Amino acid sequence: MSSVELMAVDDLRPTEWIKKRRAARLAHTIESSGIWRCPICIEAESLFVMDGHHRLEVAKMLGLLRVPVLRLSYNDIPVISRKSGFNVTPDQLRERAAKGLLYPYKTTRHLFPAGLVACQVPITLLRQPADTIRQAA
């Protein structure tokens, strides 16, 4: 399994709608703690969000430039539809994400293995441009 890396918020592609109230509550929790604890799971090649749509919205709400991500592959992660009338496959997800066609809230379900990687990244770090971090290192 891959390790957590920081990626530009604008590079990530959502695949589902979110609930704004849920995102607002989560934003308050993350900002209050000052720590980002759970990476957004993305498809390794096309960079679309597998899990973490609300966290991606939180990053935008908080003005973060980057977020912790975990790159995963459909060779390891199965996906199913939670809603009747929707056929969800990795190819359909890639195609819809590329076109900006979002599925309704909670349509897809990725079957992740137990114990995915966690993180503890200060949100102040996520507000800094990548080149600033490299210069400081």
pLDDT tens digit sequence for 89-105: 999 998 888 898 999 99
What pLDDT is attached to residue 135?
41
Q: Which fold has domain 5-132?
A: 3.90.1530
CA nearest 125: which of 3, 6, 4? 6
Contact 67, 55 (CB under 8 A): yes
Evaluated on CA atoms 7, 19, 94, 41, the torsion sign reads positive
Whole-prediction pTM: 0.89
Contact 46, 11 (CB under 8 A): no
Which stretches of the chain drop beneath a pLDDT of 50? 134-137
Half-sphere exposure of 29 (CA within 13 A, CB side): 12
Q: Is 68 exposed, middle or buried (0-12, 13-18, 19+ CB in 10 A)?
A: buried
Domain spans in the chain, listed from the N-terminal domain onward: 5-132
